[in-house]
């Protein structure tokens, strides 16, 4: 599954957030036809990235840190994070705390 996230601090517009799983919008971001919006009244600019998470995830959540987004998802009992860089496994179901 492909999802559009904002990788810059400052935030994402509600219009962009509403389109983040829209196939045409994803293609527009990938092709460069849509590079993000500058919202002068809010004082931020979006930096959009298409991230891919596996279709067989059991759950996922878009997280926000001061406007920059990432996705945490669960696959086969393992917890993963994907943001502006590579996918990172942050918890293995064989680990204990």
Domain assignment present for 35: yes
Residue 50 lies in domain: 2-91
State the residue for tokens 């983040």: 20
Domain assignment present for 83: yes
Overall average pLDDT of the 66-77 stretch: 89
- The tally of domains found in the chain comes to 1
Neighbours of 49 (CB within 10 A): 19
Q: Which residue has the higher pLDDT, 35 or 15?
A: 15
Q: What is the pLDDT of residue 97?
A: 43
Domain assignment present for 59: yes
Domain assignment present for 68: yes
Per the CB < 8 A criterion, the answer to whether 71 and 62 are in contact is yes
pLDDT digits (tens, 9 = 90+) for 60-69: 999 988 878 9
Lowest mean pLDDT among 3-7, 16-20, 56-60, 93-97: 93-97
Domain assignment present for 97: no
Token pair of 50 as six digits: 């298409």
Domain assignment present for 74: yes
Q: What is the pTM of this model?
A: 0.78
Per the CB < 8 A criterion, the answer to whether 81 and 34 are in contact is no
User: What are residue 62's DSSP bridge partners?
Assistant: 71
Domain assignment present for 96: no
State the residue for tokens 């680990």: 95
pLDDT surpasses 60 at 96: no
Per the CB < 8 A criterion, the answer to whether 83 and 7 are in contact is yes
């Amino acid at each position: 599954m492909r999802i559009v996230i904002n990788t810059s601090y400052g935030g994402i517009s509600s219009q962009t957030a509403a389109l983040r799983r829209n196939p045409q919008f994803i293609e527009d971001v990938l092709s460069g036809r849509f590079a993000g919006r500058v919202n002068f009244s809010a004082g931020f600019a979006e930096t959009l990235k298409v991230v891919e998470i596996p279709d067989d995830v059991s759950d996922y959540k878009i997280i926000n840190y001061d406007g920059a987004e990432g996705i945490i998802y669960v696959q086969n009992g393992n917890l993963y994070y994907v943001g502006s860089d590579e996918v990172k496994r942050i918890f293995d179901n064989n680990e204990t705390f």
